[in-house]
Amino acid sequence: MLMLSENSKTLTSFIKAPVPIYMQIYLFNVTNPDAIRFHGAKPILKEVGPYTYREVREKFDLVWGHDDGSVSYQQNFTFFFDEEMSNGLKETDYITTINAVMVTVAAKIEKLGPAIQAMVELAFLRFKESLFVTRTVGELLFRGYKEPLLNELTKYIGDPTNSKGRFGFFYPRNNSNDGTYKVRTGENGMDNYLNIEEWNGNHTLSYWNSTYCNMINGTDGSQYPPKVTKNTVLRIFTSQLCRSLYLTFEKEISHHGINAYRFTAPEEMLQAADQNPDNACYCYPDQQHCLGSGMLNLQPCAQGANIIMSTPHFYMGDKVELAKLVGLNPNKNDHETFLDVEPRTGVTMKAAKKIQINVPLRPYGNLPSFKNVPEVVFPVLWVNENADVNETLSKEVRKGVSLPFVVVNAICGILIFIGAILLIAGGVKFSRVRNSHGQQKL
């Protein structure tokens, strides 16, 4: 029933998920920008959110490969703001945050000569750039805002992200796709069902410093091959992080009456290279520039943007960076990524993928705009991308998964009972016949 084909019952759900997906975004409002900029003060942050968006994913341009049991597709992502689920928060709310464009430019030229740095500082003044900006939530996220410095840069370096001189942390991601995927349909066996075989025509990535870190492993996290056990390692490839992740079993849970296994990210997966040497190949540009635990430098795959991804509030992450900030409170319930999987089918019943976006701040070169700032991985926002199979759909899953086993067990029980009765009846009859033969001989 799970196998994908042009006529399979699962195709509709594969193309467009029947479960609503939400992106809850929490932004960090900077309450002391001048003290940070001029006096190197410890940043004081106030978390504001969630700003909740309904996420619609729809696969298109499906190409079937029956010879190798695969299907290729692209997937469109569209986001709609849901004010009701945002508890009254609005996209028109203002947030003060770090100027990521200014920081990226400073980082790019810090090793160039003083003449270039002086020209860049003049550009900051010309375009009235400030280390901290105050913009609406809508502008900071999906709509973007006009950024004169970025517009000027596109004249010289082109416009690889099609930003058209606008900047937003998720601009222009709305109504877009993240490339072409090729996955296994199960036609040639379910052991690698929905595993991602290729992304954008490649079997591996090219961002990192080893074959291990460049591997494309697992599915997109919505479905796994059947017969998941507590020893199974669930692997996920996520293009936003430019890498594969893995989750391990934590505990059994009940999801609307369905038995499921909860899988979470083990601490060693995101440990610093000095604690887990397997992660040394994620150091960029080399092993002399490794980040602390729970952090990943996205420069290799973010068009050179100075962005660091981490766990929310640096949960299970670098304690040194956490101590440099006021307003963060990492905890398991709020900030842990997890998947709840029904083990017989491999279907994900509940999921929460949680990621934080940060900008590395420090004195860059001899730029006066950065002369007095502290050295800190500066949080901008964190995202909880989640989905939950509701009670109604759970009942359908329970019927499809549990009921057949109940019926089979009941039939087996009845057959065993009937068989036992027949054996007893046969034994009684055999005993009577033997006794009867014994009497006739006498």
pLDDT tens-digit readout, 208-254: 989 999 999 999 999 999 999 999 999 999 999 999 999 999 999 99
Number of Cβ atoms within 10 Å of the Cβ of 218: 20
Asked if the structure places residue 318 within a domain, the reply is: yes
Q: What is the pTM of this model?
A: 0.89
Contacts of 146 (CB under 8 A, 6+ apart): 165, 166
For the chain, the domain total comes to 1
- Residue 423 confidence (pLDDT): 66
Contact 169/141 with Cβ under 8 angstroms? Answer: yes
Which tokens in the block code for residue 282?
Answer: 């994620």
What's the whole-number mean pLDDT along residues 374-403? 83
Task: Tell me, letter by letter, the H, E, C secondary structure of the chain.
Answer: CCCCCCCCCCHHHHHCCCCCEEEEEEEEEECCHHHHHHHCCCCEEEEEEEEEEEEEEEEEEEEEECCCCEEEEEEEEEEEECCHHHCCCCCCCEEEEECHHHHHHHHHHCCCCHHHHHHHHHHHHHCCCCCEEEEEHHHHHHHCEECHHHHHHHHHHCCCCCCCCEECCCCCCCCEEEEEEEEECCCCCCCCCCCEEEECCECECCCCCCCCCCECCCECCCECCCCCCCCCCEEEEECCCCEEEEEEEEEEEEECCEEEEEEECCHHHHCCCCCCHHHHHHCCCCHHHCCCCCEEECHHHCCCCCCEEECHHHCCCCHHHHHCCECCCCCHHHHCCEEEEECCCCEEEEEEEEEEEEEEECCCCCCHHHCCCCCEEEEEEEEEEEEECCHHHHHHHHHHHHHHHHHHHHHHHHHHHHHHHHHHHHHHHHHHHHHHHHHHHC
Asked if the structure places residue 416 within a domain, the reply is: no
Q: What are phi and psi of 148, to 5 degrees?
A: -55, -40
Model confidence band, residue 180 (pLDDT cutoffs 50, 70, 90): very high
CA Rg value for the chain: 28
Domain membership of residue 234 as a residue range: 11-389
- Residue 424 confidence (pLDDT): 72
Which tokens in the block code for residue 52?
Answer: 């909740």
Asked if the structure places residue 397 within a domain, the reply is: no
Model confidence band, residue 5 (pLDDT cutoffs 50, 70, 90): very high
Asked if the structure places residue 170 within a domain, the reply is: yes
Model confidence band, residue 192 (pLDDT cutoffs 50, 70, 90): very high
Rounded CA separation 192/346 (Å): 11
Q: Which range is least confidently modeled, 197-211, 251-265, 392-406?
A: 392-406
- Burial (CB count within 10 angstroms: exposed 0-12, middle 13-18, buried 19+), residue 196: buried
Q: Which of 222, 223, 225, 220 is closest to 241 using CA atoms? A: 220
Asked if the structure places residue 438 within a domain, the reply is: no
Task: Tell me, letter by letter, the H, E, C secondary structure of 317-367.
Answer: CCHHHHHCCECCCCCHHHHCCEEEEECCCCEEEEEEEEEEEEEEECCCCCC
The answer to whether the Cα torsion of 173, 174, 178, 179 is positive or negative is negative
Bridge partners (DSSP) of residue 67 are: none
Asked if the structure places residue 124 within a domain, the reply is: yes
Rounded CA separation 207/243 (Å): 9
Does residue 440 or residue 347 have the better pLDDT? 347
CA atoms within 13 A on the CB side of 270: 27
Rounded CA separation 279/400 (Å): 41
Cis peptide leading into residue 50 (ω within 30°)? yes
Query: Which residue is listed with tokens 């990621």?
Result: 355
The answer to whether the Cα torsion of 359, 363, 367, 369 is positive or negative is positive
Asked if the structure places residue 239 within a domain, the reply is: yes
Bridge partners (DSSP) of residue 353 are: 385
pLDDT tens-digit readout, 280-317: 999 998 889 999 999 999 999 888 789 999 999 999 99
- Residue 2 confidence (pLDDT): 83
Model confidence band, residue 1 (pLDDT cutoffs 50, 70, 90): confident
- Residue 413 confidence (pLDDT): 57
Contact 43/378 with Cβ under 8 angstroms? Answer: yes
Q: How far is CA 80 from CA 24, 52, 306, in A?
A: 11, 8, 27
Asked if the structure places residue 405 within a domain, the reply is: no
pLDDT tens-digit readout, 118-141: 999 999 999 999 999 999 999 999
Work out the mean pLDDT of the chain and round it to a whole number. 90
Strands 21-30 and 45-65, bridge-based pairing = antiparallel
Q: Which of 183, 107, 189, 95 is closest to 140 using CA atoms? A: 95
